[in-house]
Amino acid sequence: MRGAGSNKRPGGWRGSAAQIAVGRAAIIKWNRTRHLQPKCGAARKRDGEPCQNLGMANGRCHKHGGKTPKGDNWHRPLWPHRDAPGANTKLNRKLNDLQRTAVKREKRVARMSPEERAAHEQWQRTHKPGSAAARERQREYRRQAKETRLLLSTEPSPLSPEAQALQAEIDELKAELLELEYKKGVFA
């Protein structure tokens, strides 16, 4: 790996007055429109006011879930690439973070009321990590199960007028048939 200042040569571009001027102009231009960029939608921890960081694609900043993966990696930890600079440090930091989060979650669950705990467990059941397609299949399965439960729980609907008329006819024919069979028995 080359040193940080290896490009800085006398008379070179890096660190020159011209480069500094270009950089300054770019920053001034950026700062002029920064307040117009969409902000993060989260509430700040220290005072509950809206977070002032810039939002990422999902409307949250990098500290408030903006970097949370979507799709197939939803709810899955993202590991640093092994060739990334400082990969080992990043990996250890990630593992420590996950460990700390797990401990925090355990404490939070322990403090929950039975209802909160049931809701929490239900959420965990219905929000399992996995590929986007697998999660979509599970959603569809739950939707169908819910529909079936609803269907089974409802009372049978009263017959329509047409069905009532048909049923009356059927009853009449059945009565005629019984009569015929009776007569057949008598005169046999």
Q: Burial level of 41, CB count in 10 A (0-12/13-18/19+)?
A: middle
Q: How far apart are CA 5 and CA 15, in angstroms?
A: 9
42 binds Zn ion (CB under 5 A): yes
* Binding-residue pattern over the window 57 to 96 for Zn ion, x denoting contact by CB under 5 A: ----x--x--------------------------------
8-16, 20-28, 50-58, 98-106 -> range binding Zn ion (CB under 5 A): 50-58
Minimum Å gap between C-beta 69 and Zn ion is 17
Two tokens at 59?
């409307």
State which of residues 10, 23, 30, 53 lies at the interface with Zn ion (CB under 5 A): 53
Q: Which residues contact 72 (CB under 8 A, 6 or more apart)?
A: 130, 131, 132
Compute the least distance from the CB of residue 39 to Zn ion, in Å: 8
Six-digit token string for 97: 């973070």
**Segment contacting Zn ion by CB under 5 A, of 43-51, 75-83, 115-123, 155-163:** 43-51
Nearer to Zn ion, 42 or 91 (CB): 42
User: Which residues in the 111-150 window bind Zn ion by CB under 5 A?
Assistant: none
Residues 6 or more apart whose CB falls under 8 angstroms from that of 146 comprise: none
Taking CB under 5 A as the criterion, the residue among 51, 54, 56, 91 binding Zn ion is 51
Minimum distance from residue 64 beta carbon to Zn ion (Å):
3
Phi (first) and psi of residue 43, to 5 degrees? -95, 135
Inter-residue contact 8 to 15 (CB < 8 Å): yes
Residues at the interface with Zn ion (CB under 5 A): 40, 42, 51, 53, 61, 64
